[in-house]
Amino acid sequence: MTASDTVTTQHWIDGAYSGAASGETYDDVDPASGEVFARIANGGAADVDRALAAARRAFDTGPWPRTTAAQRAKVLRRLAELLVEHREELARLESRDAGKPFRETAERDVPRAADNCAFFASAIEQREQAAFFDRKPFLGTQREIVSIVREEPVGVCALLTPWNSPLMQATWKIAPAIAAGNTCVLKPSELTPLSTLRLAELCTQAGVPDGVVNVVTGFGPAAGAPLVADARVDAVAFTGSEATGIAINTAAAATLKKVTLELGGKSANVVCDDADLELAVEGSVLAMFRHSGQVCLAGTRMYVQRGIYDRFLERYLERVRALRVGDPQSHESDLGPLITAGHRERVERFCAQAGDDGVETLLRGARPSDPALARGNYLAPTIFAPRDESQTIAHEEVFGPVLSVFRFETLDEVVARANATRFGLSSYIWTANVATGMRFAQNVRAGMCWINGYFLRDLRQPFGGVGMSGLGREGGRWSLDFFTEPKLVCISY
């Protein structure tokens, strides 16, 4: 797409594009320019019904659930190849739709999407199914018993993805779902649907049968709610906000669907006195400001031990001031725009409230003065030094380029403070002492902990959090556990 292109999209249902039943569309706005560059099919209950009918039919009578693991793996590997072949196109589309720096979408997001497909191709081929042998009395006779555990696909899966990494998140759910033999209906965020629609096309090109992967675009109340509540859906996988996750879990409970939720975070990033200063600075900047802080894993609460505090903070502030806010299509930009004008205003309200609460400001970010950026949703980084975790800016998820910094004295103290949150997604610690890092990891209340690193991702690892950060885990065998059902078959002879 060029800057002058305006496209009108349709849903992807049963292997083909299909317009919204209502005929309605809504505007997709470029976060960097404020321009409408696409009109998106505005889905509702009728569109969800058609997509679910296709997915149900493909599961109940179609070939996909009845293929071998090797056959499904071959298709997924071809999909991975297609993602690589279309990397430039997908990265540009993703960058423009989500406002992410192009170098991140091209160098990280699209390759990771391809890796997801290739990984789950191998994972499903290598998945072991169990058999147990025993001898039991039955009707007065000792009999040999063989118990086989078959792992079967769950059925029709509702997949709901967020706006901050749409392509990667779509493959993170689609790949294990279809690897296990399921069919699915995916509703991407209404803000960033374009790369997911293109992905659906590529699925068909790779050999995924019609009806196995369906995409309905639209807003949560009109499209997401009927999808989650429908009795034809057997499992729901959602990544997004805390409030929406609660609503989805409540709606899914009526029909006892399997549910996995990856929600928000307010993650602690701890820098100890003995940390490698430059490593901790660079890693902490990345952990906080990647995608302008619009990342669930962002280390938004930074705790720096007193002995290194002044030296670390001086270097950290210098590094943050050097970050370049600008056009996400440029290779020179470190931070692109926030996703919408409304979201930027929300972040600014958090900052204004912090000022009203008397929170010390170490660095105050503002909208750029460059006229070329005036129409975009840009906002430079802000860093606060709250009194403690009770202040709003220190405990609420801002989801923007806003950091809270604290001093701490001892490891026990910082563990207690890190745990003073309703969230529990990720955590980070920078230290030269392995024992210190491990003590922190063992005691912090979070689903994930990185020692001397940020989001170093092995696809075999579990991903997810505790508390209000969600339910269940994704990744590796945990994804395949979710998308399969064990069935016992017992033979006596």
57 burial (CB, 10 Å; 0-12 / 13-18 / 19+) is middle
User: Which entry of 94, 151, 190, 262 is annotated as an active-site residue?
Assistant: 262
Told to judge if 296 belongs to the known catalytic residues of this protein, a careful annotator would answer: yes
Which one of the listed residues 117, 157, 272, 296 is annotated catalytic?
A: 296
User: Residue 438 and residue 396: Cα distance in Å, rounded?
Assistant: 27
Burial environment of residue 226 by CB neighbours within 10 A (0 to 12, 13 to 18, 19 or more) = buried
155, 59 Cβ separation under 8 angstroms: yes
Token couple for 224: 């997401």
CA dihedral 284, 348, 373, 37 (to 10 degrees): 100
**By three-state DSSP, how is residue 269 classified?**
strand
CA 309/CA 292 separation, integer angstroms? 24
Strand, helix or coil for residue 192: coil
In which region does residue 491 sit, left (phi positive, over 0), alpha (psi from -120 to 50) or beta (all else)? beta
Tokens 């790779």: give the residue.
Answer: 206
Residue type, 104: E
Residue 25 neighbours by CB distance under 10 Å: 18
**Minimal CA–CA distance to 406: which of 319, 300, 302, 307?**
302
Sequence letter at residue 290: R
Contact yes or no for 218/22 (Cβ under 8 A):
no
CA distances from 136 to 142, 147, 148, 484 (A): 6, 12, 16, 29
Catalytic residue IDs = 262, 296
